[in-house]
Structure 1
Amino acid sequence: MSDTRKVLTRAAGGAAGAAVLGIGYASLIERNAFTLRETTMPVLEPGASTIRVLHISDLHMTPGQRLKQNWLRELDRLEPDLVVNTGDNLSHPKAVPAVVQALGGLLARPGLFVFGSNDYFAPVPKNPLKYFKKDHKRVLGDPLPWKDLRAAFTERGWLDVTHVRRELEVAGVRIASAGVDDPHLKRDRYDTVAGVPNPLADLRLGLTHSPEPRVLDQFAHDGYDLVLAGHTHGGQLCLPFYGAIVTNCNIDRSRVKGPSKWGAHTQLHVSAGIGTSPWAPARFCCRPEATLLTLIPAPPRKADSGTNHGASTSEAVVS
């Protein structure tokens, strides 16, 4: 064998070994390296009290995922004033008890929720190249027991804001909320909640599973202060120094996770999510996460300056 061929063979072997190690890390380690992200967002009316909102999304639960369930159960120790769940809780027809038990004490706290596609339909194997085509044909799996999950949430006091407006007071903060069904499946009907929310509220809060621009534009047009979404998994498989490769929706890569600004006065927060599809059980440079949002009064409005409008983010691990 020539020296050149030996070099090429060794290089190919090294690349293959690195790929195997990368896949092992992404599927066995990072996928289970659950992280709490903490972000401060100035979105409340001047003079309002500060509140803490726990944003969770994309659990993609199956019954045997003990590490994930135990980690979720510990989040109640954060004692949030409000819990917001932006969908895709299920990945298995028998996962409802696991979700309810994992959320544990969080279900006894004030909560709002909307559902995503994987609350309605089980995930199915997909060609990963389809994620690069934003308008690819959706393939739906078997129906999931979303009605049972909805009943479990609402019986414990969480409010379903799918295509309805709801007002509540949390820790002295008056919240006007509204949500839409999953835009990823084109189930959103914003006209059912359209219009200016209560101007007397301290926070005008919108919920959607997938952060589709057409929905975000409508929330922003009506004057919502903050919109919470999930769905993107933060890109799930990201590249160092580059970030997300795809977003799995029509939002741009710069907004695939975390806080950003949408329009002149609306803030957006996209959760990178806690789980993955069982058919793609890996994360790389994108740890599974929940976010504790500290909402504070916004400064007086002025000319648009900066994408994040003062939002600051940190990261911590809850073990």
Structure 2
Amino acid sequence: MQLQGVRYGMHGQPPVSASNVDDVERLYQLELRLGADHARRRLAIEKEKEARVLSREGKHLHLENAYSLPSMIRLCLQMSGLYRRAQANSRELRVTENRFILPELPRGLEGLTLLQLSDLHVDMDEANLHAVMETVRPLEYDLCVITGDYRRDTWGDINPAMDGMQRLRNHLNGTVLAILGNHDSVLMVPELEAMGYQMLMNESYRLEKNGESLWIAGVDDPHLYQTDDLEAAIADIPAAATSLLLSHTPEIYQEAAMAGFDLYMCGHTHGGQLCLPGGLPLTLDARCPRHLGRGAWEYDAMQGYTTTGAGTSILNVRLNCPPEVTLHRLTRGPNGVG
């Protein structure tokens, strides 16, 4: 296995000052990893969008930045008698199994299994993080992929999240590929890589098994920071290769299908997190059709999966929308042959 196709599409932005000694060192390491232009532009975007509830254009709400929202949700759930149940639900992870049937899958990749984690928010709730670690420890898989959101907030100190991610890494086997989400600072990248996470920052990775290859591309956050660069991510992927895109959100599904991806994995929506009976989400916080907001879906020739995520956002509660870790199995057909 090897990392291939490192390219960046960010140029010439004003310098950004780091806020403390730790961040100065992180910025130095980040500039070595991504180049000064990319690193400083991403940090400038983070600063500009920090703690905004309404986007500067006035088109999109970012509910996770509403300071009073957790208290309002907690009060509503307490008044309805659902708070304790909803909190317990957030810690009861399930292992979901999904099959991607690809008739043209190279025979050497038959049965390849990928573990997907997403929306961990590891500094949100200690009990949930413990549940994640206990859930993933006995699982068997060829590769783990994580589709973003490691921090509780979209701004502030990254140290609590980094501590949680270090603890989680001790329970994950083999190679772990990861991307950033809208809660994540680019300053996390060097530290996560030092822990053993291989970050895909608009880059691709070739997974080899039995002499065959699965190409996995990962893009930076398309939702809040809009720093995804699909062109850079696919630059080194052969046209006929079997390919998978990791994106924090389902929002670039059309572009991914046009780029020729076979598979698409994402998270961000939490499946709604608080849903009506039957799993009907109150909100998905994503610019995409609602049927792409949870579970398996298809668009043109591309198959996708949007996980409900392992953690929670805003408040550690869930209703009618269990948290999950997902095992994806690739196969050529119903019987694993073709």
Which residue pairs with 2:257 in the alignment?
A: 220
**Could you report, residue by residue, the CA deviation over 1:71-94 in whole angstroms, capped at 9, with x for unpaired residues?**
324413212101010000122632
Cα pair distance change 1:184/1:273, threshold 3 Å: same
Residue 155 of structure 1 pairs with residue 220 of structure 2: no
Residue 281 of structure 1 pairs with residue 316 of structure 2: yes
**Could you report, residue by residue, the CA deviation over 1:199-243 in whole angstroms, capped at 9, with x for unpaired residues?**
453x3010110110xx21121112111011110000111111361
Decide whether the 8 Å contact of 1:55 with 1:85 is kept in 2.
yes
Decide whether the 8 Å contact of 1:246 with 1:253 is kept in 2.
no
Deviates more, 1:31-40 or 1:58-67: 58-67
**Could you report, residue by residue, the CA deviation over 1:249-270 in whole angstroms, capped at 9, with x for unpaired residues?**
112222211111012x101111
Q: Which has the larger radius of gyration?
A: 1
Distance in 2 between residues matched to 1:155 and 1:18, nearest whole Å: 42
Which residue pairs with 1:29 in the alignment?
A: 88
Q: Which runs of 4+ in 1 moved over 3 A?
A: 16-19, 155-158, 170-173, 194-197
Distance in 2 between residues matched to 1:57 and 1:276, nearest whole Å: 10
- Share of identical aligned residues, percent? 28
Distance in 2 between residues matched to 1:295 and 1:30, nearest whole Å: 30
SS in 1 for 2:138: helix
Decide whether the 8 Å contact of 2:267 with 2:306 is kept in 1.
yes
Which amino acid counterpart does residue 267 of structure 1 have in structure 2?
Answer: Q
Distance in 2 between residues matched to 1:293 and 1:239, nearest whole Å: 27
**Could you report, residue by residue, the CA deviation over 1:181-201 in whole angstroms, capped at 9, with x for unpaired residues?**
111112222232356932453
Which residue pairs with 1:198 in the alignment?
A: 238
Distance in 2 between residues matched to 1:297 and 1:79, nearest whole Å: 20
Distance in 2 between residues matched to 1:269 and 1:96, nearest whole Å: 27
Which residue pairs with 2:183 in the alignment?
A: 118
Decide whether the 8 Å contact of 2:216 with 2:243 is kept in 1.
yes
TM-score by length of structure 1 reads 0.71
Which residue pairs with 1:98 in the alignment?
A: 164
Distance in 1 between residues matched to 2:210 and 2:123, nearest whole Å: 34
Distance in 1 between residues matched to 2:88 and 2:311, nearest whole Å: 13
Which residue pairs with 2:118 in the alignment?
A: 57
Runs of at least 5 residues in structure 1 that lack an aligned partner in the other structure: 1-15, 121-145, 300-319
Distance in 2 between residues matched to 1:42 and 1:226, nearest whole Å: 10
Which amino acid counterpart does residue 281 of structure 2 have in structure 1?
Answer: A
Q: CA RMSD in A?
A: 2.6
Decide whether the 8 Å contact of 2:278 with 2:320 is kept in 1.
no
Distance in 2 between residues matched to 1:209 and 1:63, nearest whole Å: 19
Which residue pairs with 2:18 in the alignment?
A: none
Cα pair distance change 1:150/1:17, threshold 3 Å: closer
State the Cα distance separating 1:172 from its structure 2 match: 5.2
Aligned residues: 252
Decide whether the 8 Å contact of 1:73 with 1:103 is kept in 2.
no
Which amino acid counterpart does residue 217 of structure 2 have in structure 1?
Answer: A
SS in 1 for 2:171: helix
Distance in 2 between residues matched to 1:292 and 1:272, nearest whole Å: 13
Residue 83 of structure 1 pairs with residue 125 of structure 2: no
Which residue pairs with 2:20 in the alignment?
A: none
Which amino acid counterpart does residue 89 of structure 2 have in structure 1?
Answer: E
